[in-house]
Every structure is written in structure tokens, then in C-alpha cells.
Amino acid sequence: MRPAALDALAEHRAWLSARLDEAARSGEFADPRIGPERFARKLSLTLNAAADADAILARAQADLDRVSEEIAELAAQIAGSAQPGQVRQVLDRLAQDVPDDTNILEFCRDALTAQTAFVTDHQLLSVYDDPVELIVMPEIDRGVAVAYCDSPGPLESTPQPTFIAVSPTPADWTPERVASFYREYNRHMVHNLMVHEAMPGHYLQLQHSRRFSGSDTAIRAALRSGSFTEGWAVYTEELMASHGYPGEGDPRAVRMQQLKMQLRTTINAILDARVHAHGMTEAEAMALMTGRGYQEEGEAAGKWRRALITSAQLSTYYVGYSEISDLARELRAAGPGQPEQEIHDRMLAHGSPPVRLLRTLVTS
């Protein structure tokens, strides 16, 4: 069986190489956009749902306006009055408080410790003590995301370490570009990033998922829904901020970064659809990200590249967050006074299924 699999991989690689050579000669892959029909089909497959790409885009554009209003109101509270350009001014002030390549891992470890204590003290979810290690991201994995959560294999029967990998800045970057990167990933934003990747985001959610047991446990463990796992992680950013997680001492600073990240998540879905299905140009995308999204130029340039080389994946964060938020709201309404820990534990008690299936499991 193994030799046959290796032969099949070699054959497929040869086929891809031949196709690449043909495409280079013909210019077939000059534009990586997959077009509206393929994008709609791929989005439905990625989300494991009968997704309406146009409806998702319309909701994202409406949410972009809503979150823009929220971050403007918070910036006015922090500054003491409402003025034009105030969101940028407040974010620029927060962006002066930065880590660097020499201390970023230690800072992330301290943030994880603080977040674990906060989740426990506020009884937001059940917390387990599975091993976790923060590591420098291997070079082969760099270039797509600045951090990721690498959980143990889905069928591991004993606790194994989860790795939270954080990428340093590339050695060939100029000092100006490094400074831009850490303005984007300032200390307040890194707290939000660790909420997403670790506590109570991916790391904790996958600990709950590993403990699910049922007649289809192996299949349920092996087949995780990307929109569920990413949606949960984005939902927890809002959850922590809404409960006053202090980060570096000021919950409003954490909330500003969480709202900025929510703008980014929403814009990700807009980019995904408009690039592949509506012909969005690089100039339009950069203006949207650096303008409405308040992103640093380096962050926006990296996201443009990611939007071109991927399709449907950037939508999973926004769609998953919307589905998870809607479900949590329904559960709270159905059981007024129910403890948050009980609601969230119920949502995480069934592995990592698509939210449309989870809704059936927790409401039936």
C-alpha cells in the first residue's frame, strides 16, 4: 500500500510540473482568480453548507459599517471627544507599545498565563491542563500567518503538546518594515492574537474537541470544520474583550484591537469574494485594508498576496464567527440566566463539526 501511495504522489507531482510548464508558456495562470462560479461552489464546499456567496458578501459589507461605528465610538471615549481621524490617532498611540523579535515569545507566554487565569476566574469555559509549548515558527511554515496553533494528531489517545508557533520578522527585512510589522502586532494586538490562537481560542477549543466521545468519534475527530474552528477563535476575541480582559492594564486598549481585528476579519471575507468573483484590483484592496481596516501597509500587502493564492479560506473566519455568534445568542435567549461556562461547554462538547450540524446537536 505504501509503495503505491508514493508512486501516486510522484505521478501527481509530475502532472503538476507539466501543467505548470504548459501554463507558463501559455500565460493561462497569469491571473489566479478562480471566477464567480468556481468561487461560489468552492465556498459551499469549504463551509460545508449551501452558502450564498452574494448574501455573505452583503452581510460582511453591512457588518463593516457596523463595526466601523463601534470602533469610532470607543476611540472617542478614549480620547474624550469625537474628532475626524480619531480612530487612527488612538490606534497609532497604542501601536507605540511594541514587542520585538528578542522578547515576543516570552511576551506570548505571559499573555497565555494571564488569559488562562482570566478564563478560569470569570468561568467562561472549562479549562484543561494539556501541555502547550510556544515556539518560533519553522521557516517552512512562514509567509501565510504570523502565528498558528498546531494541535496533536486528531486520533492521539494520550495528551501530547500543542504548539503555538509565532513567526519572527524575516532576516532580510529593512528596519522600517520590521517597525511597521510590530506597529501592527503591538503588545495590545498580541494579547488579542493569543486569545485567538490559544486561550480560549484554538488551543482550548481543540482540547474540548479531543475529549468528545461517541459512536463516530474517530471520524468526528479527523474531520474538523475549518469555519467552526476559526469562527470559534474569532468569537472568543469578542468574548474576552466584552468581559473586560485587561491585557496590558486597560481593557479599552484590548477592545480597540479586537474591533480592529474584527474589521480585518470582515474585510477578509470581502476581499475573498471581490477578488475572485468581482475583479477587485490591488489598488482597491490596499485602499480598503489600509483605510477602512486601519492596517499597516506591510500587513495589507501580505493579505493581498494571500487573497490571490488562496480562495474561500479567508471567508471561514467571518462566516464561522457569524454562525457561532448567532448560535450563542440563541442559546442565551433560550435559557436566560444560564451560566456562560455551561453554554460554551455545550457548544464545544461535540468535536469540531460545521455549525449547521452543531445547532441541531445543541438545540434538539
Q: What does the pLDDT look like over 218-228, one tens digit per residue?
A: 777 778 898 99
Q: Which of 155-169, 186-200, 236-250, 318-332 has the lowest mean pLDDT?
A: 155-169
Let me know the angle formed at the C-alpha of 364 by 360 and 216, rounded to the nearest 5 degrees. Answer: 60
Range 100-109, long-range pairs (CB < 8 A, 24+ positions): 100/182, 101/168, 101/169, 101/178, 104/166, 104/168, 104/190, 105/134, 105/135, 105/136, 105/166, 107/187, 107/190, 108/134, 108/164, 108/166, 108/190, 108/194, 109/134
> What is the tens place of the pLDDT at every residue in 277-296?
999 999 999 999 999 999 99
Q: Using CA atoms, how far apart are residues 203 and 180, in angstroms rounded to an integer?
A: 28
Alpha-carbon dihedral of residues 272, 274, 275, 280, nearest 10 degrees?
Answer: -150
pTM equals 0.89
Cell 468519534 appears where?
A: 217
Q: Using CA atoms, how far apart are residues 55 and 252, in angstroms rounded to an integer?
A: 32
Q: Using CA atoms, how far apart are residues 313 and 230, in angstroms rounded to an integer?
A: 10
End-to-end Cα spacing for the chain: 43
Instruction: Flag whether pLDDT at 27 surpasses 80.
Output: no
Contact 264, 64 (CB under 8 A): no
The residue type of 253 is A
Phi, psi (degrees; rounded to nearest 5) at 84: -60, 140
> What is the tens place of the pLDDT at every residue in 71-108?
999 999 999 988 989 999 999 999 999 999 999 999 99
pLDDT at position 179, please?
Answer: 92
pLDDT band at 212 (very low <50, low <70, confident <90, very high): confident
| Per-domain boundaries in the chain | 47-363
